[in-house]
Amino acid sequence: MAAVETAKVAAVSRPYLAAISLVVVVYITHSYLAYARLRHFPGPRLARWTRIPYILWHAGAEVHIKFGDINETYGMVPPLIQSSRWLSNQSGPIAVVAPGVLLTSDVELMRRMAAPRSKYKRNVWYMAFRFNPDRDHIGCERDNEAHGERKMKLAPGVTIPYIPPHLMFAY
């Protein structure tokens, strides 16, 4: 009787065991791919594999101090950029703080990322700037094409006409 019950339990637990194994394999594969994409950038070892340190740093009140320490400790110009003298003058320290998340303190790099027609896509946190939770405005639009269309519609309203230099400060 006990052998029959054990066989039933084993038969029922096999699909669950297979599902759990599949989830673990998918998680490990996803983690490795996220690590491999940014492996040439330095950063805290655990933070390169998981978001747990990133979440803990944000839960604390001194995340800005921690990010400053990470940027001082690990921040570097990537080897691919060091080989190009033009690019090495263009970019500053970069460090990995979570899978898929880079940290930089270089203002010029940030300007290039936010420039018009940049190849970089805006992250999800841009949606935090919405005034109405259901609608985007020009400052929080993540889609580059929709952002460009909206900018073109607003351009006539914010275009500054030419002011001759001798009238610039004549109030």
**Per-residue model confidence (pLDDT) at position 88:** 45
| Per-residue model confidence (pLDDT) at position 87 | 45
The closest alpha carbon to 151, from 116, 118, 123, belongs to 116
Q: Does position 32 have pLDDT exceeding 50, yes or no?
A: yes
Question: Do 96 and 76 lie in a common domain?
Answer: yes
pLDDT of residue 1: 54
pLDDT band at 55 (very low <50, low <70, confident <90, very high): very high
What is the pLDDT at residue 86?
44
Same domain, 117 and 44: yes
- Let me know whether 25 and 45 are in one domain: no
Consecutive H or E run containing 11: helix 2-37
In the chain, the amino acid numbered 158 is V
* 105 and 25 part of one domain: no
42 Ramachandran zone, left/alpha/beta (phi>0; psi -120 to 50): beta
Q: Which two tokens stand for residue 115?
A: 């420039």
Contacts of the segment 42-47: beta carbons below 8 A, 24+ positions apart = 42/74, 42/75, 42/76, 42/95, 42/96, 43/70, 43/74, 43/95, 43/96, 43/97, 43/103, 44/70, 44/74, 44/96, 44/97, 47/96, 47/97, 47/98
CB atoms within 10 A of CB 34: 19
Verify that 139 and 57 share a domain, yes or no: yes
Range of the structural domain that residue 102 is part of: 38-159
Per-residue pLDDT tens digits for 65-103: 888 888 888 876 555 555 545 444 444 578 888 888 888
Q: For 2-21, how does the pLDDT look when each residue is reduced to its tens digit (9 = 90+)?
A: 555 655 655 557 788 889 99
Same domain, 104 and 22: no
Going by pLDDT thresholds of 50, 70 and 90, the confidence category of residue 24 is very high
Q: Which residues have a Cβ under 8 Å from the Cβ of 12 and sit 6 or more positions away?
A: none
Question: What mean pLDDT, rounded, does the chain reach?
Answer: 78
